[in-house]
Chains A and B, each alone.
Chain A
Amino acid sequence: MIINHPILGPRDAQEFVYLGDASLIDRPDGMADGAIATFHDYLYQRTNPAGEHRELWYHEQGDRSWLVVTRHTVTHEIVKVELARDVARAEGRSK
């Protein structure tokens, strides 16, 4: 597979390490009430679609960017690649 890195251009997927669903960006607050339940859903439960999937890839053999790649899990077609940091900020994550 080829991932079109938003900074570096097309790169072989072998340069990257896969983590999983981009929902892992949405880490809950560990100090909040009911944290065990929210963390359980966050860490373990997956939508696992047969279709477009937003997922985290890390450019380990490259610039160390974490990317959010939108890829179809049946055709493997990649429709979008974003810097995970930009995605995280857009989702309201900051400090």
Chain B
Amino acid sequence: MRYSGFRVIAEALTGHKGWKPIWRDPEPQADYDYVIIGGGGHGLATAYYLAREFKQARIAVLEKGYLGGGNVGRNTTIIRSNYLLDGNAPFYEFSLKLWERLEQDFNYNAMVSQRGIINLIHTDAARDAATRRGNAMVLNGADAELLSRDQVRRMYPFLNFDNARFPIKGAILQRRGGTVRHDAVAWGYARGADSRGVDLIQNCEVTGMRIENGRILGVETSRGYIGAKKVGVAVAGSSSKVMAYAGLRLPIESHVLQAFVSEGLKPLIDGVMTFGAGHFYVSQSDKGGLVFGGDIDGYNSYAQRGNLPVIEDVAEGGMALMPMIGRARLLRTWGGIMDMSMDGSPIIDKTTIEGLYFNGGWCYGGFKATPASGWCFAHLLAKDEPHAAATAYRFDRFLRGLMIDEKGQGATPNLH
């Protein structure tokens, strides 16, 4: 069923009786060619591109809870490709280009809104780093501009320019960055996959893997055994738990990242703003809530909730940057579990077990990666070789000394 404004009007005039279920709820079949574990953004995108782009069939997505319930269901919705390093920049730019045509591609309005993202600059060293980054972005086909203090002030006159602990000296701007309605991404991919015959199976938790002679045969689930020629794991946050079924350890720790939303407010902040010196980033949703966040809590956790120190730290950052938000109220906090990898960059790779493929380690950058992650993982699954934009995301980069460490923090996941 094709969605359009005309359709909405026609349905409104006829009592909305014609809307069909957005997806089926099929019973799992005995076996599939492809089983994707994880019905979050990346898993659904993988299934979608496997079917649509790589023309594969007999695909199932197994989701332990509800579709889109991973980090795609709780994040701060930012898209951008302002990456520095060779291994990352082409991938995220590929992703941003996919975002730019996503809605027409899957006929679902995910509200991709390129309202621009700025990263504030407070020191000469930060400007040097931003210049290096901006140039790397341009060389990779992305857009970047360096803004002066006055240019930033014209964009956001209510920032703290006059009494700031970290005076604003400028910013790096990516105009093509922005935000997306996160749930709609999951639903759009799910709908697109379902309509191409992918079985999306909810409430189906993987509880084990059947592996013989170094080859995966299928997965044990809460709804019985499901055979598979190839199994792709896309369960970031729980990667270590699921891959432990295959006896594999990962260069990943699970950490909680909190995010926040304020009560609805009339329009205030047009784009996305990142205040690195204060561990704070913010945008305003179309509904009017300020959506913001900061650092991870910093200790291993699967709890999907955080603690007060980070909440305070984030609020302090927000107030330091925008003293006028003092009387806006924090409405809701939540915590998502991040696959924090050892160099801050993801993994899309085969494993040592034949037929078992892995996608994870997204740290807190997974949402913006969703389209490219799905596309590249589908490419790997379908063709058994990495997509050109994701060649660096290998397990063996740590053994070979080819880390992709944007922040230069080394093997300390909570610092990335």
Contacts and interface: CB of A to CB of B under 8 A. Distances in A.
Contact residues of B: prevailing secondary structure? mixed
A26 to B, nearest CB: 14
Contacts of A48: 240, 249-250, 252-254, 300
B411 A43 contact: yes
Interface stretch (A58-66, A72-80, A84-92): A72-80
B301 A76 contact: yes
Interface string A14-41: 1000111100000000000000110010
Contacts of A43: 342, 398, 411
B240 A40 contact: no
A14 B241 contact: no
Contacts of A55: 299-300
Contacts of A75: 303
Interface in B236-275: 238, 240-241, 249-254
Interface residues of B, number: 24
A44 B397 CA distance: 11
B300 A20 contact: yes
Contacts of B301: 73-74, 76
A75 B300 CA distance: 11
Contact of A46 (B240, B299, B303, B307): B240
Contacts of B238: 50
Contacts of A21: 253, 300
Nearest to A50: B302
Contact of A74 (B298, B303, B342): B303
A7 to B, nearest CB: 21
5 contacts: A18-B298, A36-B399, A44-B342, A48-B252, A76-B303
Interface of B: 238, 240-241, 249-254, 298-303, 307, 309, 342, 398-399, 411-414
Interface of A: 1, 13-14, 18-21, 36-37, 40, 43-50, 53, 55, 71, 73-76
Closest 7 CB pairs of A and B: A48-B240, A44-B251, A50-B302, A44-B398, A45-B249, A18-B299, A44-B342
